[in-house]
């Protein structure tokens, strides 16, 4: 049975009709309108209708950054689209006449990796999405860990430094400030400022006015020592965070997704090294593997569709 998945991002809304093996039948993409939640509802309704026209579609799943309640129905807070306490599911259900679920975007992406991607052969995985920020998703015993209020898996806000760098969440020392794409840029700028191995970074910064993710990605793929140094620094923080996450969650696999994860082993090698150096009771229990995500661009829509299909099947069953 087909389901529609929609991923509401800060700049674009992606949608797809997804088969039950996770493959995308047809997709769509529109710019995210600023501000008005009603306008977003209209676009999502239109997108689901056009993607499901003439097909047998059981449900629609919508993913968005933010806090979603554990009934997958209300958006407590979605920073990108400035929503507070929106009863999003009911609005969509009324308009669409099919079962609708909403989920956190990192949870949807993690679920897709668990079902159809890098983690399809394990039952317990922890995913870290290294984009501008750090997102997370946890699957344990074949189930998505949602938590008591639906906000579990906010792994970017694990604290790694007491009284550390201030975080956008209002707390301090969150791994998001030491392990995100934004942190990588800060580290690269610091290395550029210091000269030495940072010379190529300093040159690129002067040439382009500032460093950005694209410039860094290019320097990393060219194995520039300064850029690799920044990436290794990032990886060591993430590996230390994973050591704590293992004590709590004991996943069989850590999956790294998001833009920074395309660096592959250049990121994962320092992650693994720092992980082992900081792992509690190392040698006294089995150790997880570290891999990169496989469904990079489509994970959000594929996961949202699959979660919606499962929800609808449970309603029927």
- Interacting residues toward its own copies by CB under 8 A: 67, 76-77, 122-125, 136, 138, 140-141, 143, 145-162, 167, 169-172, 174, 240, 243-245, 247-253, 278-282, 284-286, 288
Q: Is the dihedral of CA 236, 241, 246, 252 positive or negative?
A: negative
Tell me how far the alpha carbon of residue 181 is from its chain's centroid: 12
Q: At a CB cut-off of 8 Å and minimum separation 6, what does 295 contact?
A: 22, 109, 112, 113, 116, 117, 302
What span, in angstroms and rounded, lies between the C-alpha atoms of 129 and 105? Answer: 10
**Which residue, 37 or 225, has its beta carbon nearer to its own copies?**
37
Strand-pairing partners, residue 125, are 139, 253
Phi, psi for residue 269 in degrees, rounded to 5: -60, -50
- For the bound state, the minimum distance from the C-beta of residue 226 to its own copies, rounded and expressed in Å, comes to 24
Write down the residue that tokens 């009771």 correspond to.
281
- For the bound state, the minimum distance from the C-beta of residue 203 to its own copies, rounded and expressed in Å, comes to 33
**Which residue, 54 or 162, has its beta carbon nearer to its own copies?**
162
- For the bound state, the minimum distance from the C-beta of residue 175 to its own copies, rounded and expressed in Å, comes to 9
- For the bound state, the minimum distance from the C-beta of residue 77 to its own copies, rounded and expressed in Å, comes to 4
- For the bound state, the minimum distance from the C-beta of residue 53 to its own copies, rounded and expressed in Å, comes to 36
**Which residue, 64 or 215, has its beta carbon nearer to its own copies?**
64
- For the bound state, the minimum distance from the C-beta of residue 207 to its own copies, rounded and expressed in Å, comes to 36
Strand-pairing partners, residue 104, are 64
DSSP 8-state class, residue 174: B
What span, in angstroms and rounded, lies between the C-alpha atoms of 23 and 224? Answer: 37
Q: Are 124 and 111 in contact (CB under 8 A)?
A: no
**Which residue, 76 or 217, has its beta carbon nearer to its own copies?**
76
Degrees to nearest 5, angle at CA 253 with 146 and 307: 35
User: In which order are the strands placed within the sheet that holds 289-292?
Assistant: 143-144, 134-140, 125-130, 253-257, 289-292
**Which residue, 219 or 291, has its beta carbon nearer to its own copies?**
291
**Which residue, 91 or 159, has its beta carbon nearer to its own copies?**
159
**Which residue, 8 or 139, has its beta carbon nearer to its own copies?**
139
Give, to the nearest 10 degrees, the angle between helix 199-208 and helix 181-194.
110
Going by their DSSP bridges, the two strands 83-86 and 75-78 should be labelled as antiparallel
What span, in angstroms and rounded, lies between the C-alpha atoms of 313 and 47? Answer: 22
What span, in angstroms and rounded, lies between the C-alpha atoms of 13 and 9? Answer: 6
**Which residue, 150 or 300, has its beta carbon nearer to its own copies?**
150
- For the bound state, the minimum distance from the C-beta of residue 48 to its own copies, rounded and expressed in Å, comes to 27
- For the bound state, the minimum distance from the C-beta of residue 154 to its own copies, rounded and expressed in Å, comes to 4
């Amino acid at each position: 049975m087909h389901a529609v998945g929609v991923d509401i991002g800060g700049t674009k809304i992606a949608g797809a009709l997804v088969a039950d093996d996770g493959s995308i039948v047809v997709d769509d993409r529109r710019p995210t309108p600023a501000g008005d939640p009603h306008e977003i509802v209209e676009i999502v309704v239109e997108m689901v209708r056009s993607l499901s026209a003439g097909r047998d579609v059981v449900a629609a799943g919508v993913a968005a950054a933010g806090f979603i309640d554990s009934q997958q129905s209300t958006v407590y807070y979605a920073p990108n689209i400035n929503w507070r306490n929106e009863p999003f599911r009911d609005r969509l259900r009324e308009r669409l006449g099919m079962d609708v679920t909403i989920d956190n975007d990192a949870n949807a992406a993690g679920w897709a990796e668990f079902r159809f991607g890098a983690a399809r052969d394990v039952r317990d995985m922890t995913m870290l999405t290294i984009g501008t920020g750090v997102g997370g998703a946890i699957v344990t015993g074949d189930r998505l860990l949602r938590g008591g209020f639906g906000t579990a898996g906010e792994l970017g806000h694990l604290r790694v430094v007491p009284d550390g760098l201030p975080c956008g969440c209002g707390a301090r020392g969150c791994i998001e400030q030491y392990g995100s794409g934004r942190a990588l840029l800060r580290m690269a700028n610091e290395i550029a400022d210091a000269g030495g191995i940072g010379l190529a970074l300093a040159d690129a910064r002067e040439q382009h006015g500032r460093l950005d993710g694209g410039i860094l990605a290019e320097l990393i793929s060219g194995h520039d020592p300064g850029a690799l140094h920044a990436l290794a620094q990032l990886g060591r923080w993430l590996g230390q965070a994973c050591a704590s996450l293992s004590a709590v969650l004991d996943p069989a696999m850590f999956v790294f997704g998001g833009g920074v994860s395309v660096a592959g082993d250049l990121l994962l090698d320092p992650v693994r090294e720092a992980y082992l150096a900081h792992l509690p009771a190392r040698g006294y229990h089995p150790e997880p593997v570290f891999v990169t995500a496989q469904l990079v661009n489509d994970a959000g829509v594929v996961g949202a569709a699959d979660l919606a299909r499962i929800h609808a099947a449970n309603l029927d069953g």
